[in-house]
Amino acid sequence: MSHTKKKKHPEHPPVPRIKKEIKRYRVIAVAIIFFLLFGAGIAFFAAGNNVTWLITGAITGAVCGYFFGRQIVHELFKK
């Protein structure tokens, strides 16, 4: 048998795992911003440049984003 097959390899020290914790409020904030822009975009394409409908679409999108973000947080941080 060759010499290299008998040689034992040194043990490497364990690498510490860095646990990145996702903040709950960040998930909700990103969902709110995304859906706010999405709702305003739909309102813009549906009603044109009417400010009332843009604000209504943005508010509706933000409310939907809040509930969607809460649902994501609930599923991610389930114990």
Give me the percent of the chain exceeding a pLDDT of 90: 54
Q: What is the pLDDT of residue 66?
A: 97
Between helix 51-76 and helix 24-47 the angle, nearest 10°, is 150
35-56 average pLDDT score? 95
Question: What does the alpha-carbon distance between residue 35 and residue 32 come to, in Å, rounded to a whole number?
Answer: 5
Model confidence at 17, pLDDT cuts 50, 70, 90, reads low
The DSSP annotation for 10-70 comes to PPPPPPPP---PPPHHHHHHHHHHHHHHHHHHHHHHHH-S-HHHHHHHHHHHHHHHHHHHH
More confident residue, 14 or 41: 41
